[in-house]
Amino acid sequence: MTPLLTVDDLAVEFRTRDGVVRAVDGVSLEVGPGEILGVVGESGSGKSVTAMSVLGLVRPPGRVVRGSVRFDGEDLLALPARRLRRIRGRRIAMIFQDPMTALNPVVPVGAQIAEAIRLHQPRLGRAAVRARVLELLASVGVADPAARYGRHPHEYSGGMRQRAMIAMALANEPDLLIADEPTTALDVTVQSQVLGLIDTATREAGAAAVLITHDLGVIAELADRVAVMYAGRVVEHGDVHQVFATPSHPYTRGLLAGRPRLEQATGGLVPIPGSPPDLLAPPPGCAFEPRCALAAGRAACRADRPEPVAVAAGHLSACHFHEEPV
Amino acid sequence: MTTTVTPASPRSLAARRFRRNRMALAGAVFLTAVGVLALAAPLVAGHDPNTVDLAAFREPPSAAHLLGTDSSGRDVFARLVHAGRVSLLVGLLSSLAAVAFGTLLGALAGMLGGPVDAVVMRAADVVLSFPSLVVIVVLAGVLGPGAAMLVLVFAACNWPTACRVVRGLTLSLREREYVQAARAFGAGRLTVIGRHVLPAVLPQVAVAGTLLVAQLILLEAVLSFLGLGVRPPRASWGNMLTDAQNLTLIQTMPWLWLPPGLAIALTVLAVNFVGDGLRDAVDLKGVRG
């Protein structure tokens, strides 16, 4: 299987007044056609920056310093702006976290979706564009699309707005959908509806998806494979069942152990001790070493940065001691 | 069951706020009247504005000459309404040109950043650091006085104000997530300017443009009074005042200077009222939702 999207050794730096922050540091990912890759990690682990660099939308003071992003045989990072614009929105579409801010508040929702279509199909007539928008709105479950076409974002509920955003993303039948925490800004009751919609929409269209989240439950429900990010690196990458059943990085184990569970209502949550490293001055060895129970001051963890190694077919872990149980 | 609620659009809210502002409304009504008079000048004037009648010079207002005649025996009312055409047109056109040019440059500077931004903003600084009156006097000498020259020079000297305002707004709009989203959907920077930046800056630009109209009508009057603007025999409110430059005339023949003087003062006042009204109407800060 040739992957649709291959991110290889990507590194993104931000020059700040206090020094250089390496937000993404050697990330490698693969997404096959029609596959859903879940990217999980806490705030600041580089998930969103990775997504933005796929679309070439990292802006100063941010800069891609290393690596490549290959999409369907083309290196997106080397592509001239004009060709890249033709890929954005048409072949790779993005769903943003907060549809309230990702939609222009003073432009009717229908017109914004129409604009997304017209950007890539400028010759389509007004009536045809309108018909397509109505069809899209109906397909994402917006009731009475004709009446809502001319409504502004503030007249939509949060869930409806995200549905509209998804309709916009699907407008040009992309091959890859990048959803950056699509349910974080939503009501809990609406979250599963929207996730279900993303799931069916991508599978019906045969599109692949990168689903960025910090919710392991979302990953378990939708993703085929998962990449766990920590401090700008992918620490574990593999099939979702495999990773959840046999987590091979202490950070993943910590995340899984830290989940709230219904069956163990007694006792509190089990947090990972400590906090993520300061990316201005990352530890020289493994970024997780200061919080890791496995490392326990071992020299290898302190001095050498672990590279991802295969622990099983298609299952990578970036831990020196991945074979050891906690 | 769904209930349909149609909240007022931002535009209709602004219109409502404007209508509630009495000064602005009065200004708008007055300007409309002046505009209609100027547009219909040939119909309402009753006399040709440039016909010299030396037999009837400096005549006081009468039934034949509503506002009397000037030193060359020309009908003052006819000149007044025709002058209104010139003065309003110069003010409107030059403000429009200045604001359009400034807005475009400001949006480009803010959106593209880098060298484009640097060049545009330094150019704005240079223009602002020139005493514009001196530039105008020099250009009037080089190009020769005239209404077209005024429009050109006014626009060239006044674009930086709008440019700075628009650049500032663009810089903040650029960071909005919906602009990022538009880019992620494949919109180029120029598309973003057209779709998201220009509509958003329009209210502020309209306010700045309106207030500029007042300034420029005044400046046109000053320059024409000094003989550097609209050239006689073509009438403008400024050059009509040139007629009344000596004390005796001012004391004894108020119909020579009072009409154009009032026209200038009231028009500028009205434009300023409208501008202030617009500013208050579109300024959403401090307004409860």
Residue B281 has pLDDT above 60, yes or no: yes
Residue B286 is predicted with a pLDDT of 38
Average pLDDT, chain B: 87
CA distances from A252 to A40, A142, A227, A291 (A): 10, 37, 10, 12
In the A/B pair of chains, how many CB contacts fall below 8 A? 66
Q: How far apart are CA A130 and CA A109, in angstroms?
A: 12
Strand, helix or coil for residue A75? strand
Mean pLDDT on B31-44: 90
Rounded (10°) angle between helices A109-120 and A126-139: 120
Q: How far apart are CA B14 and CA B279, in angstroms?
A: 10
Q: DSSP assignment of A2-68, as one string?
A: --SEEEEEEEEEEEETTEEEEEEEEEEEEE-TT-EEEEE--TTSSHHHHHHHHTT---TTEEEEEEE
Mean pLDDT on B12-27: 87
Mean pLDDT on B80-109: 94
Mean pLDDT on A198-207: 85
Measure CB to CB from residue B183 to each of A57, A98, A144 and give the nearest one.
A57
Residue B288 has pLDDT above 70, yes or no: no
Residue A141 is predicted with a pLDDT of 82
Test mutation, A52, A104, A119, A155, chain B, max B CBs within 10 A? A104
Contact A144 B2 (CB under 8 A): yes
Binning pLDDT at 50, 70 and 90, where does residue B287 land?
Answer: very low
Model pLDDT for residues B124-143, shown as the tens digit of each residue:
999 999 888 888 888 888 88
Mean pLDDT on B93-108: 95
Phi/psi at B222 (nearest 5 deg)? -60, -50
Measure CB to CB from residue B187 to each of A105, A119, A143 and give the nearest one.
A119
**C-alpha distance from A269 to closest chain B C-alpha (Å):** 34
**Which of A61-75, A130-144, B272-286 bottoms out in mean pLDDT, i.e. has the lowest?**
B272-286
Measure CB to CB from residue A94 to each of B5, B10, B184 and give the nearest one.
B184
Binning pLDDT at 50, 70 and 90, where does residue A321 land?
Answer: confident
Contacts of A144 in chain B (CB under 8 A): 2
Average pLDDT, chain A: 85
Phi/psi at A151 (nearest 5 deg)? -85, 150
The top-scoring range by mean pLDDT among A49-58, A133-142, A149-158, B98-107 is B98-107
Contact B186 A106 (CB under 8 A): no
**Which of A235-239, B56-60, B196-200, B271-275 bottoms out in mean pLDDT, i.e. has the lowest?**
B56-60
Report which DSSP code applies to A124: S
Residue A294 has pLDDT above 80, yes or no: no
Return the half-sphere exposure (C-beta side, CA atoms, 13 A cut-off) of residue A209. 31
Q: What percent of chain A has pLDDT over 70?
A: 98
Q: DSSP assignment of A211-257, as one string?
A: EEES-HHHHHHH-SEEEEEETTEEEEEEEHHHHHHS--SHHHHHHHH
Q: Which residues of B touch A (CB under 8 A)?
A: 2, 4-5, 7, 9-10, 176-178, 180-188, 191, 195-196, 199-200
Binning pLDDT at 50, 70 and 90, where does residue B93 land?
Answer: very high
CA distances from A90 to A52, A207, B73 (A): 16, 12, 73
Contact A96 B177 (CB under 8 A): yes
Binning pLDDT at 50, 70 and 90, where does residue B20 land?
Answer: confident
Residue A54 has pLDDT above 80, yes or no: yes
Measure CB to CB from residue B186 to each of A88, A96, A106 and give the nearest one.
A88
Residue A267 is predicted with a pLDDT of 66
The top-scoring range by mean pLDDT among A146-150, B41-45, B203-207, B211-215 is B211-215
Q: Are the C-beta atoms of B277 and B211 separated by less than 8 Å?
A: no
User: What number of H helices and E strands is found in chain B?
Assistant: 13, 0
Contacts of B9 in chain A (CB under 8 A): 152
Q: Is the ipTM of this complex over 0.90?
A: no
Contacts of B181 in chain A (CB under 8 A): 94, 96, 102-103
Residue B25 is predicted with a pLDDT of 93
**C-alpha distance from B211 to closest chain A C-alpha (Å):** 26
Residue B180: closest CA among chain A residues belongs to which residue? A102
Question: Of A222, A209, A172, A237, whose CA–CA distance to A5 is shortest?
Answer: A209
Residue B182: closest CA among chain A residues belongs to which residue? A116
**C-alpha distance from A55 to closest chain B C-alpha (Å):** 7
Contacts of A93 in chain B (CB under 8 A): 184-185
Contact B186 A102 (CB under 8 A): no
Q: pTM of the prediction? A: 0.81
Model pLDDT for residues A111-126, shown as the tens digit of each residue:
999 999 998 888 888 8
Model pLDDT for residues B141-187, shown as the tens digit of each residue:
888 888 888 899 899 999 999 999 999 999 999 888 899 899 888 88
Residue B244 has pLDDT above 80, yes or no: no
